[in-house]
A and B are shown apart, each in its own frame.
Chain A
Amino acid sequence: MSDMTRRQFLAITGSTLAGSSLALLGFSPGQALAEVRQFKLSRATETRNTCPYCSVSCGLLMYSLGDKAKNATQSIFHIEGDPDHPVNRGTLCPKGAGLIDFVHSPNRLKYPEYRAPGSDRWQRISWDEAMERVARLMKQDRDANFIAKNADGQTVNRWLTTGMLAASASSNEAGYITHKVIRSLGVLAFDNQARV
């Protein structure tokens, strides 16, 4: 034993000291601090709307990218219940709670499509074509089947061969307008689920 020289002893203690000093100077991994995930809605644009599914018509808060600045394109990234809405007071059902994937669904219908009688596929058409076709078919049917007077000669002005199914989540005002349009044509079969 006692092979260690004075020089070796100094070298070992010196390098140990240097190593621990380096660690203290910040070359060792720092203490990781914990934090919660940043709140993602802080300055997002909040928009009120009504759930599109059933006639309960729960109130929604939709959060979209940006603050409506001219150069920011809005895109909804979160939807939750509206706590100020008297119908649901912030709650939602599983379908409503998952609306964000409905908004961004790749299967979402974004434009009018038409499937010809006997065809097995849908084809995209323009809004003008769609409106014109619907209007033309409605007019044809109405011209052919409109009943102005009944058998007793009383004026009835009814059109019984076409029905109208309107939205389930319309407001009273939208329901009122839909009602006026459809009744003025003489349609009797009409469901608007106007319960909002």
Chain B
Amino acid sequence: MALQSLDIVRRSATTTHPPTVRKAQTGTVAKLIDTTKCIGCKACQVACMEWNDLRDEIGTNVGGYQNPHDLTDQSWTLMRFAEYENPARGGDLEWLIRKDGCMHCADPGCLKACPAPGAIVQYANGIVDFQEENCIGCGYCIAGCPFNIPRISQRDHKAYKCTLCSDRVAVGLEPACIKSCPTGALVWGTKEDMHQHAAERVEDLKSRGFDQAGVYDPPGVGGTHVMYVLHHADQPELYNGLPEDPRISLSTRLWKGVTKPLALAGIALTALAGFFHFIRVGRNETHESDEQAAAQATERARHG
């Protein structure tokens, strides 16, 4: 399967250019999560575990519907439940349920931050995938992710997250979560088609009084291959802290941007300075008189 690498457009910690002649000629793929249709049944969570051969620990109930409490190395997707009392509707309770998981950014912060060659790759169809055999478990992908998605396994100390079922997509199938969704809140297709579908949904929602309904496809990370339809697109934070304008953090950008050539230049200059010092001044040489002075100093120190 070595030729698979031909469909890779980006590879972590690699300076050589990956083979990028092949493109997604018929469009990249996208998952559209319509939070306005979701009933929070968690079929997607179960289907994800079933397909990916994961089984999370049976946790404890902390008084909410959200289970498990957070994403884990075994739970790559999670329904996050938020209770919102909408002041615009007289304090009516709105149950905002968001399927959380990897957003498959066009400009992935995890890939940028990853120091292990080939541990994170981006395929031509838009999927960002972790290659756990190359992962060194440093956790930089978590720091680099604007959505706080990857999780390190305590068992093998490697990072895991949603693969967008790259193994199913590679043979032309939809991801397991999409297939299971009984309300049609999860839909799948080319990114173009998903935008079209989302636009129809937004129009419908606006006609039902959700004036701020909209699509979430944040440009700060180059757009995502997992998009949301939100009732309150003007306040994405309502949905359990979905960031309004996610970006790769400044430290990651500096560290992987200007810092690298600067540090390299620093190392080269130091070496060069050393070389010039060597040929101009020469090495630090000692003479017989220096040795005697040192011996006398030692004697003095010994006998006070």
Contact = CB atoms under 8 A, between A and B. Distances in A.
B201 interface: no
Nearest to B122: A34
Contacts of A92: 43, 47, 180, 182
B2 A97 contact: no
A192 interface: no
A36 interface: yes
B50 A35 contact: no
B1 interface: yes
Nearest to B179: A90
Nearest to B283: A1
Contacts of A78: 50-51
A38 B133 contact: no
Interface string B46-58: 1101110000000
**The 7 residue pairs across chains A and B that have the minimum distance between CB atoms:** A97-B46, A37-B167, A35-B4, A36-B166, A1-B282, A35-B1, A97-B47
Given A36-B169, A100-B50, 14 more contacts: A1-B279, A32-B118, A36-B166, A36-B167, A36-B170, A38-B167, A91-B184, A92-B180, A93-B41, A94-B42, A94-B45, A97-B47, A97-B50, A98-B50
Nearest to A42: B171
Q: Which of A1, A32, A80 has the most CB of B within 10 A?
A: A32
Nearest to A3: B283
Contacts of A35: 1-2, 4-5
B131 interface: yes
A76 to B, nearest CB: 12
A100 B117 CA distance: 36
Interface in B18-50: 41-43, 45-47, 49-50
Contacts of A36: 4, 129, 163, 166-167, 169-170
B11 interface: yes
Given A31-B118, A37-B167, A91 B179 contact: yes
A32 B11 CA distance: 10
Main secondary structure of the interface of A (DSSP, over half): loop
Interface in A139-188: none
Interface in B174-207: 176, 179-182, 184
Contacts of B11: 34
Q: Which of B43, B133, B134 has the most CB of A within 10 A?
A: B43
Contacts of B166: 36-37
Interface in A1-50: 1, 31-40, 42
B8 interface: yes
Contact of B2 (A33, A37, A83, A94): A33
A62 interface: no
Contacts of A97: 43, 46-47, 50, 180
B181 A91 contact: yes
A104 to B, nearest CB: 11
17 contacts: A1-B282, A31-B16, A31-B118, A34-B8, A35-B2, A35-B5, A36-B4, A39-B170, A39-B171, A42-B171, A88-B182, A91-B43, A91-B184, A96-B43, A97-B46, A97-B50, A98-B49
Contacts of A40: 167
A37 B163 contact: yes
Nearest to B117: A32
Contacts of B168: 39
A38 to B, nearest CB: 7
A39 B175 CA distance: 12
Contacts of A59: none
A94 B176 CA distance: 12
A80 to B, nearest CB: 6
Contacts of B276: none
B95 interface: no
B124 interface: no
B278 interface: yes
